[in-house]
A and B are shown apart, each in its own frame.
Chain A
Amino acid sequence: QVQLVQSGAEVKKPGASVKVSCKASGYTFTSYGISWVRQAPGQGLEWMGWISAYNGNTNYAQKLQGRVTMTTDTSTSTAYMELRSLRSDDTAVYYCARDVTYIVGATYYYYMDVWGKGTTVTVSS
């Protein structure tokens, strides 16, 4: 079955970096993108960015530009999200999701249909 398996919880100090992995299985990895979404405690969903697993093109949320890098390893069907210069307000659950572009005739549909279970990142001194 289609699934995304994320790496385990992380505890980091302010100023450090974290790299979260997301291993895909059950589908052709390069046929979809991966979006990363985070959720601070008790808050809503925040989109962080997207990467095409086909060609590595990326699109990042403006507020994270310069601190976030998303990559993929097509040989292992794994996506990575690295966040640098961590602050306390980066404490959140980080999700990867399969980002679908579905074309019917001339109509493009976009949505995220499979999600990882999330990786808790805690930033604390």
Chain B
Amino acid sequence: EIVLTQSPGTLSLSPGERATLSCRASQSVSSSYLAWYQQKPGQAPRLLIYGASSRATGIPDRFSGSGSGTDFTLTISRLEPEDFAVYYCQQYGSSPRLTFGGGTKVEIK
């Protein structure tokens, strides 16, 4: 089973700052199988990035994804007030079909 480790657990930043979130896999992951989601309190997760770097429909271009192999990154170029949330990476595998990372909380400093 591939384990996804996200770091840091919490990121304290101010609006306008750049956020860099890491997702490390215990084994190599195909880039096309890696996605990122945003979740705000009391809401369902929302797809941000699929295929490691492709933005989902309607996602602002301040969100970008990169990486390959075992190391993947979600970058928010300039934090807007609505971006403070929890972010999860997720990968598709064979068994189990998919796994999530533990999440990174981006909070207002």
- Confirm or deny: A10 has a beta carbon within 8 angstroms of a beta carbon on chain B: no
Residues of A within 8 Å of B44, CB to CB, are 95, 97, 115-118
Given contacts A44-B100, A44-B103, A59-B97, contact A111 B45 (CB under 8 A): no
A-B Cβ contacts below 8 A, count: 72
Given A62, A110, A112, A113, which contacts B96 in the complex, CB threshold below 8 Å? Answer: A62
Given A45, A49, A110, which contacts B88 in the complex, CB threshold below 8 Å? Answer: A45
* Distance (whole angstroms) from the CB of B25 to the closest CB of chain A: 15
* Distance (whole angstroms) from the CB of B54 to the closest CB of chain A: 8
Question: How many Å lie between the Cα of A47 and that of B33 in the bound state?
Answer: 15
- Confirm or deny: A61 has a beta carbon within 8 angstroms of a beta carbon on chain B: yes
Q: How many residues of B contact A (CB 8 A)?
A: 27
Q: Is the CB of A61 within 8 A of B96?
A: yes
| Interface size class, chain A | 20 to 34
Given contacts A115-B44, A115-B45, contact A47 B35 (CB under 8 A): no
Question: How many Å lie between the Cα of A97 and that of B33 in the bound state?
Answer: 16
* Distance (whole angstroms) from the CB of B42 to the closest CB of chain A: 9
Given B32, B50, B100, B103, which contacts A47 in the complex, CB threshold below 8 Å? Answer: B100
* Distance (whole angstroms) from the CB of A39 to the closest CB of chain B: 8
Given contacts A95-B45, A115-B44, contact A107 B100 (CB under 8 A): no
* Distance (whole angstroms) from the CB of A90 to the closest CB of chain B: 18
- Confirm or deny: B63 has a beta carbon within 8 angstroms of a beta carbon on chain A: no
Within 8 A of A (CB), among B35-63: 35, 37, 39, 43-47, 50-51, 54, 56-57
Within 8 A of B (CB), among A73-116: 95, 97, 102, 107-113, 115-116
Question: How many Å lie between the Cα of A117 and that of B40 in the bound state?
Answer: 12
B interface residue numbers (CB < 8 A to A): 32-33, 35, 37, 39, 43-47, 50-51, 54, 56-57, 88, 90, 92, 95-103
A interface residue numbers (CB < 8 A to B): 35, 37, 44-47, 49-50, 59, 61-62, 95, 97, 102, 107-113, 115-118
